[in-house]
Amino acid sequence: MTDRVLLDEGDWKSITSSSPSSALRSVRVMEAAKTRARGDLDDLSEFSMQKHAQSTHPILSTVQPCLSEEKVAREDINTLTFDDFIERYERRSIPCILNNAAVDWPAVRDKRWTPKALYEKHRHRKFRCGEDDNGKVVNVKMKHFLRYMKSQQDDAPLYIFDSMFDDEIGGKTPCPIKEDYTIPSFFAEDLLSLVGEHRRPPYRWFLLGPRRSGTTIHVDPLSTSAWNTLVYGLKRWVLMPPDVAKEVAKSDDLVDKEQLEDNESVDYFLKILPRLKKKQGEVFSSRIIEFFQFPGETVFVPSNWWHAVLNVQDSCAVTHNYASSGNFDRVWLATRTERRGMARKWLRVLRKERPELARQADILNERDHWCEYEERRKHSINKERRKSTRNTSEPASSESSDSEDEEVAV
């Protein structure tokens, strides 16, 4: 039986019993954060204009749902072998749910991520809950976010999606919250770690979301696969195969902006997805995978699968993107195109550490007539051109950098 962390009012007591002045301070902090993170909204009243918090729609129901219509396999990590997981799911690019992957985590066993525990240990630490129109991170202290999480009535609330590095001391020191979990054994291989912790794109996130928050439809960067373990709460998922076109998956044309709809997760599940299934028909709808994720369950999302997630209840989870032997071809092809400098370094390290994968990359490169030395030469020429352009124009900002070395936004 999977261990499950269940919340009760006692988990919120220390948070809701704060003084009036502290509560007011939290309201003001979160209002400022909302204004920065949602620059597309004209004023704060638009956060609750659609009245989703008062909705009785079954998609937003917090009652435990029926599993009879789900089209995803549930496996026990204690009985499914690693080789069977690779052959049945990873190599065949089939999503699945694993049970009992987090039983021994301190976050689960010792309940370190309940609102009460987070408040007691991390209330003064800042966590990322969005970014502004200029791409700058919006951080708030945990104590303010927890008070907001308990009382909010927003249609699409802010959502902590934090990479677990301490931005206040240079963004290089792991946050202590990282010590509260371990990577499930099936996902231990992490090939992108070979390029170095701060060369690779962001790949791990601590997730704390109020009900109705979530992530809208997307694919993970660099064709990586992902695992997502829910510690408490309830998540609703939808997945679409990699061959679904971007314009179909996102369906921006189905957003009714006159009704104040947008591309937030709650509107995608409530409005966009039903319209999309109706428009595309039964064959398309039959290929979509929808399911609920319960506490203690780990979702495996293969490379390039479209997915969106809605927090039906107040939820806490952790997720990683990763490259492995099973998805190496897809990740290499994406990295070679999107992160050229990192790809060159990765290939050099692979020749030393994983020569069999380096040979695999060489075969792909030869097939596509891709040459790392030619790419390096082109990069050097382009870099010199940019340097020459800067020298003949106004001084550049000290914050500028080559685009291939910038962190990928996810």
Per-residue pLDDT, 384? 65
* Domain tally, the chain: 2
74 in the same domain as 40: yes
Q: Are 301 and 101 in contact (CB under 8 A)?
A: no
347 shares its domain with 303: no
Residue 261 has pLDDT above 90, yes or no: no
- Examine the pLDDT at 259 and tell me if it is beyond 60: yes
Give the pLDDT band of residue 397 (cuts 50, 70, 90). very low
Determine the average pLDDT of the residues in 213-240: 96
pLDDT value at position 41? Answer: 84
- Least trusted range by pLDDT, from 64-73, 176-185, 238-247: 64-73
Closest CA to 132 of 36, 35, 31: 36
312: which residues sit within 8 A by CB, 6+ positions away? 59, 60, 61, 62, 211, 233, 234, 235, 236, 292
| Residue 318 and residue 343 share a domain | no
Cα dihedral value 369, 372, 377, 381, nearest 10: 90
Residues 381 and 242 in one domain: no
131 and 62 within one domain: yes
Cα–Cα nearest to 331, from 252, 408, 234, 239? 408
Residues 316 and 368 occupy one common structural domain? no
Residue 10 has what pLDDT?
Answer: 77
Average the pLDDT over each of 19-23, 62-66, 110-114, 120-124 and give the range with the smallest value. Answer: 62-66
In a domain, 350, yes or no: yes
> Which domain does 265 fall in, by range?
22-322
pLDDT digits (tens, 9 = 90+) for 34-53: 999 998 888 898 899 899 99
364 and 258 within one domain:
no
Structural domain contains residue 265: yes
Task: Report the candidate in 115, 84, 112, 116 with the shortest Cα–Cα distance to residue 98.
Answer: 84
**pLDDT, tens digit, 9 for 90 and up, residues 48-91:** 989 999 988 888 876 656 555 678 999 999 999 999 999 999 99
Q: How far apart are CA 7 and CA 216, in angstroms?
A: 26
Whether the pLDDT of residue 399 is over 50: the answer is no
- Residue closest to 144 by CA, chosen among 155, 161, 134, 158: 158
B/e letters for 77-107, b = 16+ CB within 10 Å, e = fewer, are beebeeeebeeebbeebebbbbbbbbeebeb
Lowest mean pLDDT among 25-34, 252-261, 279-288: 252-261
Question: Do 29 and 72 belong together in one domain?
Answer: yes
Residue 270: how many other CB atoms lie within 10 Å: 20
Asked if residue 236 is part of any domain, the answer here is: yes
* pLDDT at 93 > cutoff 60: yes
Q: What is the pLDDT of residue 19?
A: 86
CA–CA dist 212, 155 (Å, integer): 7
Q: Please answer whether residues 249 and 306 qualify as being in contact, where contact means their C-beta atoms are separated by less than 8 angstroms.
A: yes
Place of tokens 């269940």: 6
250 and 291 both lie in a single domain: yes
CB under 8 A, 24+ apart: contacts of 269-278 = 269/59, 269/214, 269/236, 269/238, 269/308, 269/310, 270/52, 270/55, 270/57, 270/59, 270/60, 273/238, 273/308, 275/251, 276/248, 276/251
What pLDDT sits at residue 388? 67
175: helix, coil or strand? coil
Lowest mean pLDDT among 147-161, 214-228, 252-266, 335-349: 252-266
Same domain, 155 and 191: yes
- Separation between Cα atoms, residue 53 and residue 268, nearest integer Å: 16
Nearest to 160 by CA among 203, 137, 189, 130: 130
Residues 238 and 354 in one domain: no
Percent of the chain predicted with pLDDT > 70: 85
Task: Please report, for the domain that includes residue 93, its CATH number.
Answer: 2.60.120.650
- What pLDDT does residue 58 have? 84
286-309 mean pLDDT: 96
The percent of residues in the chain predicted with pLDDT above 90, rounded, is: 71
64 assigned to some structural domain: yes
Region 267-283: what's the mean pLDDT?
Answer: 95
Stated length of the chain:
410
Q: Is 50 in the same domain as 195?
A: yes
> Per-residue pLDDT for 402 more than 50?
no
Take residue 50 and report the two structure tokens written for it: 């659609």
pLDDT at 410 over 70: no
- Strands of the sheet containing 306-311, edge to edge, are 214-218, 306-311, 235-240, 289-293
Strands 96-99 and 73-76: parallel
